[in-house]
Structure formats: structure tokens, C-alpha cells
Amino acid sequence: MRNILIVGAGKGIGLHSAQLLSDENLFTISRNLTPELELLGTQFFELDVSKDDLTDLNLPEELHGLVFCPGSINLRPFNRLTEEDFLADFNQNFMGAVRVIQKCLPALKKSKSASIVLFSTVAAKLGMPFHTSIAASKGAIEGFAKSLAAELATANIRVNVIAPSLSDTSLAAQLLSTDDKRIASAKRHPLQRIGTPDDSAQLVEFLLSDKSSWMTGQIIGLDGGLGNIKL
């Protein structure tokens, strides 16, 4: 049984990943302990990793997997975004990951075979209006992951990024609040549907497993074809 840390496990993709990996020895972090997460009986820490002190985060000596799921959907015209908006997205999406990985690096190295899974967005690849802040912070994740993968390869620590399109989670609730919005969102994707949390969770499971042992430094589009196909 492997030791795996999932950050942002309270809901959405993080929760579905925890449910799918419930046979592992799970350590989870979220700003709130949700009933669904509590049912899994994980070793839980209530933290905001973008700003809380991580000194006393009690993790095992060896960590085989780290999944960083927190994200934001702050969609506004560029001229209505403030510097504080950009910094808030950057701290949540990028600096939170940096802080957690630095905290966990000794344990990841000690396992002698570990996998880090981060999340970006299709909007970092495909220019989309009103996405400047989120695309900037997730674009930072992609560049960071490639460099980190190169640096940690000799320690046999793999680093990969999942870049989904719109998924049916609470984070996207306002974008999918009516049937018309759901239909329009689905039609924008070549495969004619929006993503589900399980789509991402299943890819998380694969990237943590030995089945992906020869993959590192990859940005994996999970977007219904939106990032590469035009119909």
C-alpha cells in the first residue's frame, strides 16, 4: 500500500481521486472536511496550503504520490481584473503547489520512486477570452512542471500535468447552471460533452501507477479534443 497525498481533496476532482484511490494509504488536505471526504477515513489536514504554515504537517517518512488539485475559475475581462486578482490566482494555483512540493520533497525522494501530478487548463494552450488570470497561473504550473521533472528525474520522481477543459464540478457550477449553458459548453468540444471529475481522477490514478513509469514532464490534454481539434 502506497502513501499518497492529495491536496484539494474536499470536493471535485480531488475528492473523486481520493475515492478512486481509497485502497491506498491516503493523506488529504482541504480547507474544509466535507462529509464525502470524511467517509473515506483518510488522514486529514485542514489547511489552506497557499498561506497556512506547513511546518507541523505530519506526513510519513516516505511519500509515493502527490496530487495537487486546487484551482480557480476567475473569468473576467482583462480590464476588470486587478493586480490582487492575478496574485490571488497565482498564489492558489501555483505557489500553493510550490510550497507543498518543497515540504514533501524529502519524503518523495526517500520513496525512490514517486509521482507528482499537477493540474493546468486547456486555456493555457488555447487562447480564450476572459481567461488571462487563470491562464497565466496555470501556464506557470506547466513551465514549472517541465523544469521540475528534469531536475528530479535522477531521483526517479516523475512530474506530469493534466490540462482539462471544463469539468462538471462545483467550481464550474455558475458556468453550467442551466441546461442551455450545459448544451452550449458540450457543443464547443469535438467529443460533444463536458468533462466529469472521474475523467480526471482516472488519469490521476494512471499517472500515480507503474503503468506510467516512463512518463515525465508531460502536459496531458484532457479536453474532449478542444485543444487540438477544430470541427
Write out the chain's pLDDT in tens, 231 residues.
Answer: 999 999 999 999 999 999 999 999 999 999 999 999 999 999 999 999 999 999 989 999 999 999 999 887 888 999 999 999 999 999 999 999 999 999 999 999 999 999 999 999 999 999 999 999 999 999 999 999 999 999 999 999 999 999 999 887 767 667 667 888 888 888 988 999 999 999 999 999 999 999 999 999 999 999 999 999 988
Relative to beta strand 43-46, strand 65-68 is unpaired
| Residue 70 near residue 93, CB atoms below 8 Å | yes
Longest dimension (CA), the chain: 51
Pick the CATH number of 3-169+196-222 from 3.10.20.440, 3.40.50.300, 3.40.50.150, 3.40.50.720: 3.40.50.720
Number of residues that this document lists for the chain: 231
pTM of the model: 0.95
Residue type, 176: L
Residues contacting residue 180 through CB under 8 Å, at least 6 positions apart? none
Q: Give the model's pLDDT for residue 185.
A: 81
